[in-house]
Chains A and B, each alone.
Chain A
Amino acid sequence: KAGVTQTPRYLIKTRGQQVTLSCSPISGHRSVSWYQQTPGQGLQFLFEYFSETQRNKGNFPGRFSGRQFSNSRSEMNVSTLELGDSALYLCASTLAPSSRGNTIYFGEGSWLTVV
Protein backbone atom coordinates (compact mmCIF):
# COMPACT_ATOMS: atom_id res chain seq x y z
CA LYS A 1 0.00 0.00 0.00
CA ALA A 2 1.55 3.27 -1.12
CA GLY A 3 2.27 5.85 1.53
CA VAL A 4 1.76 9.59 1.48
CA THR A 5 3.48 11.11 -1.53
CA GLN A 6 4.67 14.69 -1.65
CA THR A 7 6.06 16.62 -4.57
CA PRO A 8 8.39 18.26 -5.17
CA ARG A 9 10.86 17.01 -2.61
CA TYR A 10 13.21 19.94 -2.87
CA LEU A 11 12.77 23.42 -4.26
CA ILE A 12 14.38 26.81 -4.11
CA LYS A 13 12.36 29.99 -4.56
CA THR A 14 13.07 33.69 -4.44
CA ARG A 15 11.50 36.12 -2.01
CA GLY A 16 8.20 37.42 -3.29
CA GLN A 17 7.47 34.40 -5.44
CA GLN A 18 4.76 31.88 -4.73
CA VAL A 19 4.98 28.12 -4.40
CA THR A 20 2.57 25.21 -4.68
CA LEU A 21 3.20 21.90 -2.97
CA SER A 22 1.31 18.73 -3.70
CA CYS A 23 0.28 15.80 -1.54
CA SER A 24 -1.31 12.48 -2.45
CA PRO A 25 -2.70 10.70 0.61
CA ILE A 26 -2.74 7.01 1.36
CA SER A 27 -5.42 5.33 -0.72
CA GLY A 28 -8.77 5.55 1.05
CA HIS A 29 -7.73 8.38 3.35
CA ARG A 30 -9.95 11.42 3.08
CA SER A 31 -8.26 13.76 5.54
CA VAL A 32 -5.09 15.63 4.68
CA SER A 33 -3.18 17.85 7.09
CA TRP A 34 -0.22 20.10 6.49
CA TYR A 35 2.54 20.94 8.95
CA GLN A 36 5.50 23.29 8.81
CA GLN A 37 8.75 22.28 10.46
CA THR A 38 11.51 24.79 11.18
CA PRO A 39 14.48 24.63 13.57
CA GLY A 40 13.15 27.57 15.55
CA GLN A 41 9.43 26.82 15.80
CA GLY A 42 9.42 23.06 15.47
CA LEU A 43 6.40 21.31 13.99
CA GLN A 44 3.40 23.56 13.59
CA PHE A 45 -0.05 22.75 12.26
CA LEU A 46 -1.07 24.67 9.15
CA PHE A 47 -4.48 23.32 8.16
CA GLU A 48 -6.53 20.21 7.59
CA TYR A 49 -8.87 19.27 4.78
CA PHE A 50 -11.53 16.62 4.83
CA SER A 51 -13.86 15.87 1.92
CA GLU A 52 -12.65 18.97 0.08
CA THR A 53 -13.48 21.27 3.00
CA GLN A 54 -11.05 23.01 5.29
CA ARG A 55 -11.88 21.77 8.76
CA ASN A 56 -9.17 23.32 10.86
CA LYS A 57 -6.56 26.01 10.53
CA GLY A 58 -3.52 26.89 12.58
CA ASN A 59 -2.08 30.32 13.34
CA PHE A 60 -0.55 31.18 10.01
CA PRO A 61 -1.08 34.28 7.86
CA GLY A 62 -3.40 34.27 4.91
CA ARG A 63 -0.43 33.84 2.55
CA PHE A 64 -0.70 30.16 3.39
CA SER A 65 -3.63 28.46 1.74
CA GLY A 66 -4.65 25.05 0.60
CA ARG A 67 -7.25 23.02 -1.13
CA GLN A 68 -8.33 19.46 -1.55
CA PHE A 69 -9.64 17.77 -4.65
CA SER A 70 -12.35 15.18 -5.05
CA ASN A 71 -9.75 12.40 -5.16
CA SER A 72 -8.46 13.61 -1.74
CA ARG A 73 -5.21 14.92 -3.20
CA SER A 74 -4.26 18.23 -1.66
CA GLU A 75 -2.19 21.24 -2.53
CA MET A 76 -0.89 24.02 -0.38
CA ASN A 77 0.17 27.39 -1.67
CA VAL A 78 2.35 30.04 -0.15
CA SER A 79 2.23 33.45 -1.79
CA THR A 80 4.68 36.32 -1.48
CA LEU A 81 7.37 34.12 -0.02
CA GLU A 82 9.50 35.38 2.83
CA LEU A 83 12.86 34.11 4.02
CA GLY A 84 11.19 32.78 7.14
CA ASP A 85 9.04 30.45 5.04
CA SER A 86 12.08 28.26 4.46
CA ALA A 87 11.07 24.99 6.05
CA LEU A 88 10.17 21.37 5.66
CA TYR A 89 6.50 21.13 4.76
CA LEU A 90 4.95 17.85 5.79
CA CYS A 91 1.70 16.41 4.63
CA ALA A 92 -0.16 13.77 6.63
CA SER A 93 -3.23 11.73 5.89
CA THR A 94 -5.78 9.75 7.84
CA LEU A 95 -9.18 8.19 7.31
CA ALA A 96 -11.25 10.70 9.28
CA PRO A 97 -10.54 14.13 10.77
CA SER A 98 -7.42 13.98 12.91
CA SER A 99 -9.08 15.65 15.90
CA ARG A 100 -10.93 12.40 16.52
CA GLY A 101 -7.70 10.80 17.62
CA ASN A 102 -6.88 8.99 14.42
CA THR A 103 -3.25 8.30 13.70
CA ILE A 104 -1.92 10.54 10.97
CA TYR A 105 0.66 9.20 8.54
CA PHE A 106 3.25 11.51 7.10
CA GLY A 107 4.96 11.86 3.77
CA GLU A 108 8.64 12.60 3.36
CA GLY A 109 8.00 16.30 3.06
CA SER A 110 8.93 19.10 0.70
CA TRP A 111 12.06 21.03 1.57
CA LEU A 112 11.53 24.67 0.63
CA THR A 113 14.37 27.16 0.62
CA VAL A 114 13.61 30.84 0.06
CA VAL A 115 16.53 32.99 -1.03
Chain B
Amino acid sequence: AQKVTQAQTEISVVEKEDVTLDCVYETRDTTYYLFWYKQPPSGELVFLIRRNSFDEQNEISGRYSWNFQKSTSSFNFTITASQVVDSAVYFCALSGSGGVGGGFVFGPGTRLSVLP
Protein backbone atom coordinates (compact mmCIF):
# COMPACT_ATOMS: atom_id res chain seq x y z
CA ALA B 1 0.00 0.00 0.00
CA GLN B 2 1.05 3.57 -0.52
CA LYS B 3 1.35 6.11 2.27
CA VAL B 4 2.45 9.73 2.60
CA THR B 5 3.52 11.22 5.91
CA GLN B 6 3.88 14.90 6.69
CA ALA B 7 5.09 15.02 10.27
CA GLN B 8 4.79 18.78 10.59
CA THR B 9 1.19 19.66 11.39
CA GLU B 10 1.68 23.41 11.63
CA ILE B 11 4.59 25.76 11.00
CA SER B 12 4.80 29.47 11.72
CA VAL B 13 7.53 31.66 10.31
CA VAL B 14 8.13 35.35 9.99
CA GLU B 15 8.08 36.86 6.54
CA LYS B 16 11.33 36.50 4.58
CA GLU B 17 12.39 33.41 6.49
CA ASP B 18 13.07 30.22 4.58
CA VAL B 19 10.84 27.26 5.42
CA THR B 20 11.11 23.57 4.55
CA LEU B 21 8.13 21.25 4.50
CA ASP B 22 8.89 17.59 5.04
CA CYS B 23 7.35 14.66 3.20
CA VAL B 24 8.10 10.96 3.57
CA TYR B 25 6.42 8.39 1.36
CA GLU B 26 6.01 4.64 1.16
CA THR B 27 5.43 2.69 -2.02
CA ARG B 28 6.35 -0.62 -3.59
CA ASP B 29 6.09 0.79 -7.09
CA THR B 30 9.32 1.21 -9.02
CA THR B 31 7.78 4.00 -11.06
CA TYR B 32 5.86 6.65 -9.21
CA TYR B 33 5.29 10.37 -9.13
CA LEU B 34 5.42 12.89 -6.32
CA PHE B 35 3.62 16.19 -6.12
CA TRP B 36 3.20 19.21 -3.92
CA TYR B 37 -0.06 21.12 -3.80
CA LYS B 38 -1.05 24.27 -1.94
CA GLN B 39 -4.53 24.83 -0.54
CA PRO B 40 -5.47 28.41 0.34
CA PRO B 41 -8.64 29.10 2.38
CA SER B 42 -10.74 29.16 -0.79
CA GLY B 43 -10.38 25.38 -0.95
CA GLU B 44 -8.86 24.83 -4.36
CA LEU B 45 -5.70 22.72 -4.43
CA VAL B 46 -3.10 24.52 -6.49
CA PHE B 47 -0.44 22.43 -8.21
CA LEU B 48 3.13 23.44 -7.35
CA ILE B 49 5.62 20.77 -8.45
CA ARG B 50 5.84 17.24 -9.83
CA ARG B 51 8.69 14.78 -9.74
CA ASN B 52 9.04 11.26 -11.14
CA SER B 53 10.83 8.45 -9.36
CA PHE B 54 13.61 8.06 -11.89
CA ASP B 55 14.78 11.65 -11.82
CA GLU B 56 16.42 12.64 -8.55
CA GLN B 57 17.78 15.90 -9.85
CA ASN B 58 16.74 18.64 -7.48
CA GLU B 59 15.65 21.93 -8.92
CA ILE B 60 14.81 25.47 -8.05
CA SER B 61 11.90 27.34 -9.51
CA GLY B 62 11.69 30.92 -8.34
CA ARG B 63 11.28 30.86 -4.57
CA TYR B 64 10.47 27.14 -4.58
CA SER B 65 12.96 24.30 -4.44
CA TRP B 66 12.67 20.63 -3.65
CA ASN B 67 14.88 17.85 -2.45
CA PHE B 68 13.98 14.36 -3.64
CA GLN B 69 15.93 11.48 -2.09
CA LYS B 70 14.91 7.94 -2.98
CA SER B 71 17.30 6.49 -0.41
CA THR B 72 15.29 8.02 2.41
CA SER B 73 11.93 8.14 0.57
CA SER B 74 11.71 11.85 1.16
CA PHE B 75 10.45 14.69 -1.00
CA ASN B 76 10.94 17.93 0.90
CA PHE B 77 9.81 21.31 -0.32
CA THR B 78 11.44 24.63 0.51
CA ILE B 79 10.10 28.15 0.17
CA THR B 80 12.80 30.78 0.17
CA ALA B 81 12.11 34.25 1.52
CA SER B 82 8.55 33.39 2.54
CA GLN B 83 5.74 35.86 2.02
CA VAL B 84 2.38 36.31 3.73
CA VAL B 85 0.66 35.04 0.57
CA ASP B 86 2.41 31.70 1.08
CA SER B 87 0.17 31.03 4.09
CA ALA B 88 -1.83 27.93 3.23
CA VAL B 89 -2.02 24.21 3.80
CA TYR B 90 0.54 22.29 1.79
CA PHE B 91 -0.03 18.72 0.69
CA CYS B 92 2.46 16.18 -0.54
CA ALA B 93 0.96 13.53 -2.83
CA LEU B 94 2.01 10.26 -4.41
CA SER B 95 0.75 8.73 -7.62
CA GLY B 96 1.43 5.23 -8.82
CA SER B 97 -0.30 2.00 -9.58
CA GLY B 98 -0.25 1.01 -5.91
CA GLY B 99 -2.60 3.72 -4.71
CA VAL B 100 -6.00 2.90 -3.26
CA GLY B 101 -8.11 2.39 -6.34
CA GLY B 102 -5.41 4.01 -8.41
CA GLY B 103 -5.90 7.58 -7.26
CA PHE B 104 -3.48 10.00 -5.69
CA VAL B 105 -2.51 9.38 -2.09
CA PHE B 106 -2.22 12.59 -0.10
CA GLY B 107 -0.43 13.32 3.13
CA PRO B 108 -2.32 14.97 5.99
CA GLY B 109 -1.00 18.39 5.10
CA THR B 110 1.14 21.03 6.79
CA ARG B 111 -0.45 24.34 7.70
CA LEU B 112 2.01 27.15 7.05
CA SER B 113 1.46 30.56 8.59
CA VAL B 114 3.72 33.36 7.44
CA LEU B 115 3.53 36.29 9.80
CA PRO B 116 4.26 39.85 8.67
Whether B91 is near chain A, meaning CB under 8 Å from some CB there, is: yes
Give complex CA distance A35, B108 in Å: 14
Q: Which of B35, B91, B103, B109 contacts A56 (CB 8 A)?
A: B103
Give complex CA distance A109, B108 in Å: 18
Q: Is the beta-carbon distance between B35 and A90 smaller than 8 angstroms? A: no
Q: Which residues of the other chain, B, contact A97 by a CB distance below 8 angstroms?
A: 102
Whether B42 is near chain A, meaning CB under 8 Å from some CB there, is: yes
Q: Which of A42, A45, A88, A92 contacts B100 (CB 8 A)?
A: A45
A-B contact count (CB 8 A): 78
Q: Is the beta-carbon distance between A103 and B100 smaller than 8 angstroms? A: no
Q: Which residues of the other chain, B, contact A70 by a CB distance below 8 angstroms?
A: none
Q: Which residues of the other chain, A, contact B31 by a CB distance below 8 angstroms?
A: 101
Decide: A56 near B47, CB < 8 A? Known: A43-B106, A101-B52, A101-B95: no
Q: Which residues of the other chain, A, contact B33 by a CB distance below 8 angstroms?
A: 101
Q: Is the beta-carbon distance between B102 and A90 smaller than 8 angstroms? A: no
Describe A's contact surface by its main secondary structure. Answer: strand
Chain A: minimal CB distance from B29 (Å): 10
Q: Which residues of the other chain, B, contact A35 by a CB distance below 8 angstroms?
A: 103-104, 106
Chain A: minimal CB distance from B70 (Å): 16
- Interface size of B in residues (CB-CB distance below 8 Å): 28
Give complex CA distance A87, B116 in Å: 31
Find residues 86-116 in chain B having any chain A CB closer than 8 Å to their own CB: 91, 95-97, 99-109
Q: Is the beta-carbon distance between B108 and A42 smaller than 8 angstroms? A: yes
Q: Which of A45, A46, A88, A104 contacts B43 (CB 8 A)?
A: A88
Give complex CA distance A45, B100 in Å: 8
6 residue pairs, one from A and one from B, having the closest CB atoms: A45-B103, A56-B102, A101-B33, A43-B106, A106-B45, A58-B101
Additional 14 contacts, C-beta under 8 A, given A92-B45, A108-B44: A42-B106, A42-B109, A43-B91, A43-B109, A45-B105, A47-B101, A48-B101, A56-B102, A57-B101, A58-B100, A59-B101, A98-B102, A101-B32, A105-B47
Please, could you name 27 A-B residue pairs with CB atoms under 8 Å apart, sorted by A? Answer: A33-B103, A35-B103, A42-B108, A42-B109, A43-B104, A44-B100, A45-B101, A46-B103, A48-B101, A56-B103, A58-B100, A59-B100, A90-B43, A90-B44, A92-B45, A98-B95, A98-B104, A99-B96, A99-B97, A99-B99, A99-B103, A101-B50, A104-B104, A106-B46, A108-B42, A108-B43, A111-B43
